[in-house]
Structure 1
Amino acid sequence: MTSRAAAIDPITRERLVCPQDHGPLLDAGDELYNPRLRVAYRIDSDGIPVMLADEARSVDDAEHAALTTSEPKPE
């Protein structure tokens, strides 16, 4: 099964940036992740990223380490 992040149209995905610092985001399963601010943006069930700063989820140290390792995240 493909993750919601992987299912985003490549042209759209290339243009998505964090609304807070305008930097690039990492694909993190059903979310897009900003490792600089340690916040994750959910992708809804229709595959639409919710890029609202006030809806971003904070990520703790352990999850940050898991999301930023070079190994692919199991699905």
Structure 2
Amino acid sequence: MDADDPLLRILACPLDKGPLTLLSEQNILYNPRLQLSYPIVDGIPQLLPSSGSRVTEDDHATYLRAAAE
């Protein structure tokens, strides 16, 4: 999945229904509001609520910096 993929405009977090940020280096979709990451496996986003992983404060800061670049 790449940043220009039109699918990114319609994908949403299954919990708060808000937009997700693609972090291609980490191969995840990230929800900074809930600090949850969702894996992308073989190009397919895993967006079940149980697939979300809570991230640490350090990872959250790293992901925010990566998203701003």
Q: TM-score range by the shorter chain?
A: 0.7 to 0.9
Q: CA deviation at 1:28?
A: 1.4
Structure 2 gaps, min length 5: none
Identity of matched residues, %: 37
TM-score by length of 1: 0.78
Runs of 4+ displaced beyond 4 Å: none
1:11 to 6, 11, 14: 6
Aligned length: 65
> Could you say which structure has the higher strand fraction?
2
Between Structure 1 and Structure 2, whose CA radius of gyration is higher? 1
TM-score by length of 2: 0.84
The residue number in structure 2 matching 1:33 is 30
Structure 1 gaps, min length 5: none
